[in-house]
């Protein structure tokens, strides 16, 4: 009887036939981040609940409704991380990373957990690629992380993403803004949702981020934070724009962006797509100058962003972008009988040590079935070993695509094959298969040696 247990609602399996896409996107993001000086940080999937309450903020949707919080067997309140910044900040403080050269640039690929209504682009377990840059107040850093996100999208060949930026000021200018917002929303007290009524006193800016249709309609006409910026915040925003222009990064100012987490100050931004439905924000981020201090550290102006990897993959799908598939089997060695099977195990071990993807029969099937399997897994080359091949130290290597055959010596095969693959890679011939002459070199696609 089939097990009647299914994956939990809002979670997703990534199957072997698809995982190359995730791997490619993650690798791309990490490698591009590295060129900007970001190094990977890994933090635990669960933390003390208080960490998120304090950093993400008590009045946010994330803390109020979306966290996976439970009491563990030691009676501690534990929460599965809903985002990556809080853990990174905790680690930055706990391990004294502030003593190292600043800015400290860290990045991560992590799973996140939020109890939300599952729909396209909105999961309960999702993944983010994120970066955090600790210890710089300069607008150059804001532009730099935006440029990093932009590079990643560009490298992946993604088009039509709109960069929207805004400034939500600092606590100084925000005090005035809060007053204005509160006055505005107070006149709609009868219509706001219950959560927003609570927010009215505690954090009226949160109302701007409410997803209820009534509240968001009211929010459309609300006072705009850009009109309340103090001189310093204004100047900062102007400089961010200047850097972006200098880096030739197009942007649109969207005064409606406030972001869903409380810790942001000054610059906030989103990369938005119209091609993946209602959940169009593929990347969101901004500055959080007060957070490190709030968490008990010294004043450390900082900033970061997070990309939703599932949304990014939806967009890649929607735009028909083909990502390079992982390596398939390069050599399959079929065998007849125990002696040949043992020899095959030795050759594949040597090939694998040299970085070649190689397989042999580990089922004990007939040669016919082995070759059928080799075809199914897309092996590029194959050979069949029996007693006579072993005794003569010779076998026929077959190019599975063209059917070309070449005789090879078994005792040096692994080394010969590796050498030729290396030469091919150096000549950029990785994809070139087959050749005129039936020698191993030609079979593997090398050019004739120069005189």
* Binding residues vs ligand ATP (CB under 6 A): 83, 114, 116, 121-123, 126, 128, 259-261, 279, 281-284, 306, 308, 310-311
Q: Which residue is closest to ligand ATP by CB? A: 308
* Footprint of Mg ion on 376-415 (CB under 5 A): none
- Please identify, using beta-carbon distances, which residue of 105 and 311 lies nearer to Mg ion: 311
* Footprint of Mg ion on 243-272 (CB under 5 A): 260
Laid out side by side, the sheet with 381-385 consists of 358-360, 331-335, 381-385, 394-399, 405-409
Longest Cα separation, the chain: 93
User: Which one of ligand ATP, Mg ion, none is in contact with 310 (Cβ closer than 5 to 8 A by kind)?
Assistant: ligand ATP
- Please identify, using beta-carbon distances, which residue of 315 and 356 lies nearer to ligand ATP: 315
The secondary structure element, H or E, covering residue 167 is strand 162-167
d(CA 282, CA 309): 8
- Please identify, using beta-carbon distances, which residue of 253 and 278 lies nearer to Mg ion: 278
Rounded to a whole number of angstroms, the minimum distance from the CB of residue 309 to ligand ATP is 8
Helix, strand or coil for residue 314? helix
Rounded to a whole number of angstroms, the minimum distance from the CB of residue 176 to ligand ATP is 25
The secondary structure element, H or E, covering residue 395 is strand 394-399
Looking from the CA of 161 toward its CB, the CA atoms found within 13 Å total 30
User: Which one of ligand ATP, Mg ion, none is in contact with 164 (Cβ closer than 5 to 8 A by kind)?
Assistant: none
d(CA 109, CA 88): 12
User: Which positions ≥6 away from 22 have C-beta within 8 Å?
Assistant: 14, 127, 309, 313
> DSSP states of 37-99 as a string?
T-EE----SEEEHHHHHHHT-TTSHIIIII--EEE-TTS-EEEE-SSSHHHHHHHHHHTTGGG
Rounded to a whole number of angstroms, the minimum distance from the CB of residue 429 to ligand ATP is 39
Residue 306, phi then psi, degrees to nearest 5: -140, 135
Question: For tokens 């970066």, what's the residue?
Answer: 131
- Please identify, using beta-carbon distances, which residue of 122 and 352 lies nearer to ligand ATP: 122
Q: Which residue is closest to Mg ion by CB? A: 260
User: Which one of Mg ion, ligand ATP, none is in contact with 169 (Cβ closer than 5 to 8 A by kind)?
Assistant: none
- Please identify, using beta-carbon distances, which residue of 130 and 260 lies nearer to Mg ion: 260
Rounded to a whole number of angstroms, the minimum distance from the CB of residue 206 to Mg ion is 12
d(CA 406, CA 412): 14
User: Which one of Mg ion, ligand ATP, none is in contact with 281 (Cβ closer than 5 to 8 A by kind)?
Assistant: ligand ATP
- Please identify, using beta-carbon distances, which residue of 87 and 260 lies nearer to Mg ion: 260
Rounded to a whole number of angstroms, the minimum distance from the CB of residue 410 to ligand ATP is 52
- Please identify, using beta-carbon distances, which residue of 260 and 304 lies nearer to Mg ion: 260
- Please identify, using beta-carbon distances, which residue of 260 and 445 lies nearer to ligand ATP: 260
Rounded to a whole number of angstroms, the minimum distance from the CB of residue 3 to ligand ATP is 27
Rounded to a whole number of angstroms, the minimum distance from the CB of residue 282 to ligand ATP is 5
Rounded to a whole number of angstroms, the minimum distance from the CB of residue 18 to Mg ion is 25
d(CA 407, CA 71): 66
User: Which one of Mg ion, ligand ATP, none is in contact with 83 (Cβ closer than 5 to 8 A by kind)?
Assistant: ligand ATP
User: Which one of ligand ATP, Mg ion, none is in contact with 266 (Cβ closer than 5 to 8 A by kind)?
Assistant: none
- Both structure tokens of 423: 């030469």
Rounded to a whole number of angstroms, the minimum distance from the CB of residue 61 to ligand ATP is 7
- Please identify, using beta-carbon distances, which residue of 126 and 237 lies nearer to ligand ATP: 126
Helix, strand or coil for residue 331? strand
Torsion of CA 278, 251, 256, 85, to 10 degrees: 80
- Both structure tokens of 363: 């089922």
User: Which one of ligand ATP, Mg ion, none is in contact with 308 (Cβ closer than 5 to 8 A by kind)?
Assistant: ligand ATP
Cα of 322 vs its chain's centroid, Å: 17
| Positions in the binding site for Mg ion (CB under 5 A) | 260
């Amino acid at each position: 009887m089939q097990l009647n247990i299914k994956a939990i609602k809002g979670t997703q399996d990534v199957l072997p036939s698809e995982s190359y896409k995730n791997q490619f996107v993650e690798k791309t993001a990490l490698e591009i981040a590295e060129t900007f000086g970001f190094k990977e940080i890994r933090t635990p999937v669960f933390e003390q609940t208080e960490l998120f309450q304090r950093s993400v903020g008590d009045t946010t949707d994330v803390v109020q409704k979306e966290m996976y919080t439970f009491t563990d067997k030691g009676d501690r309140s534990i929460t599965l991380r809903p985002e990556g910044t809080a853990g990174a900040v905790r680690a930055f403080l706990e391990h004294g990373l502030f003593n190292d050269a600043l800015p400290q640039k860290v990045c991560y690929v992590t799973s996140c957990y939020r109890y939300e209504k599952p729909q396209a682009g909105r999961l309960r377990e999702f993944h983010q690629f994120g970066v955090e840059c600790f210890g710089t107040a300069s607008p150059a850093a804001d532009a730099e992380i935006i440029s990093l996100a932009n590079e990643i999208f560009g490298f992946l060949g993604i088009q039509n993403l709109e960069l929207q930026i805004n400034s939500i000021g600092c606590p100084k200018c925000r005090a005035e803004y809060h007053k204005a917002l509160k006055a505005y929303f107070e006149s709609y007290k009868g219509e706001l949702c219950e959560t927003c009524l609570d927010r009215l006193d505690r954090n009226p800016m949160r109302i701007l981020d409410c997803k209820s249709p009534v509240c968001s309609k009211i929010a459309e006409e609300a006072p705009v934070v850009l009109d309340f910026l103090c001189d310093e915040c204004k100047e900062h925003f102007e400089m961010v724009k200047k850097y972006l222009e200098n880096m030739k990064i197009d942007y649109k100012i969207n005064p409606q962006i406030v972001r869903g987490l409380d810790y942001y100050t000054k610059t906030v931004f989103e990369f938005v797509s119209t091609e993946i439905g209602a959940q169009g924000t593929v990347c969101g981020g901004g500055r959080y100058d007060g957070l490190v201090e709030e968490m008990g550290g010294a004043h450390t102006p900082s900033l970061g962003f997070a990309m939703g990897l599932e949304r990014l993959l939806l967009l890649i799908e929607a735009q028909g972008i083909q990502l390079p598939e992982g390596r398939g089997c390069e050599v399959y060695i079929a065998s007849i009988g125990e002696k040949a099977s043992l020899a095959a195990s030795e050759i594949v071990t040597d090939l694998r040590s040299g970085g070649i993807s190689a397989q042999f029969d580990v089922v004990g099937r007939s040669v016919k079935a082995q070759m059928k399997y080799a075809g199914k897994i897309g092996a590029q080359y194959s050979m069949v070993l029996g007693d006579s091949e072993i005794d003569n130290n010779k076998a026929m290597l077959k190019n599975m695509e063209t059917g070309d055959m070449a005789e090879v010596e078994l005792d040096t095969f692994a080394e010969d094959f590796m050498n030729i693959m290396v030469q091919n890679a150096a000549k950029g011939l990785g994809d070139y298969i087959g050749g005129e002459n039936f020698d191993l070199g030609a079979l593997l696609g090398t050019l004739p040696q120069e005189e």
